[in-house]
């Protein structure tokens, strides 16, 4: 009987590893690709309450490496990473690197209060709650915080970027800047 449990455990473990590997391969296939139309058409809200499409934001920031930060005002790990994000901003202050903070908050008031609390420079938008599924599906987002890098042409450079606290992020951004 113990032998059956052992083999069942090994089989389940193998299947989990295979599923994770397939998911990682799908994300890697996104590198160097453009955003799909449904993601480009996602509605974002500005701090002043205006609506802007994600494709317009990409167009306006073309020529810069973009660090996308998916966060929410209620997310403890998201808030804790913001001080590290400020350090990354300081490191690249004279380079063509910009930071977009995409909030998944449903309520505008909570998002705006969260912005005051984190007090970080960058481009701040709240994702239309009905549209955030498009980012979730594209990047296979399971939770936040979540990060991605976009190259100077507006293509996906790293669909699962390092967290701001990870030193490797600096090298990844530098590599994208060189291209």
How far apart, in whole angstroms, are the C-alpha atoms of residue 8 and residue 119?
50
Query: Each residue of 12-33: pLDDT tens digit?
Result: 645 444 444 444 445 567 787 7
pTM here?
0.84
Q: Cβ(100)–Cβ(123) under 8 Å?
A: yes
Question: Percent of the chain beyond pLDDT 70?
Answer: 84
Whether the upstream peptide bond of residue 32 has omega within 30° of 0, thus cis, is no
Query: Each residue of 104-156: pLDDT tens digit?
Result: 999 999 999 999 999 999 999 999 999 999 999 999 999 999 999 999 999 99
């Amino acid at each position: 009987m113990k032998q059956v449990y052992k083999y069942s455990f090994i089989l389940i473990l193998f299947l989990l590893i295979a599923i994770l590997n397939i998911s990682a391969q799908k994300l890697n296939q996104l590198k160097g690709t453009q955003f799909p139309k449904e993601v480009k058409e996602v509605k974002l809200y500005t701090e002043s309450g205006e609506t802007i499409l994600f494709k317009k934001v990409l167009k306006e920031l073309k020529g810069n490496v973009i660090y996308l930060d998916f966060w929410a005002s209620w997310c403890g790990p998201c808030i804790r990473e913001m001080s590290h994000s400020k350090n990354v901003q300081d490191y690249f202050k004279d380079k063509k690197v910009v930071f977009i903070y995409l909030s998944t908050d449903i309520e505008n008031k909570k998002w705006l209060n969260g912005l005051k609390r984190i007090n970080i420079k960058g481009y701040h938008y709240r994702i239309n709650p009905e549209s955030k599924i498009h980012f979730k599906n594209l990047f296979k987002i399971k939770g936040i915080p979540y990060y991605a890098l976009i190259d100077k042409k507006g293509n996906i450079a790293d669909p699962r970027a390092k967290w701001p606290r990870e030193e490797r992020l600096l090298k990844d951004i530098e590599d994208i800047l060189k291209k």
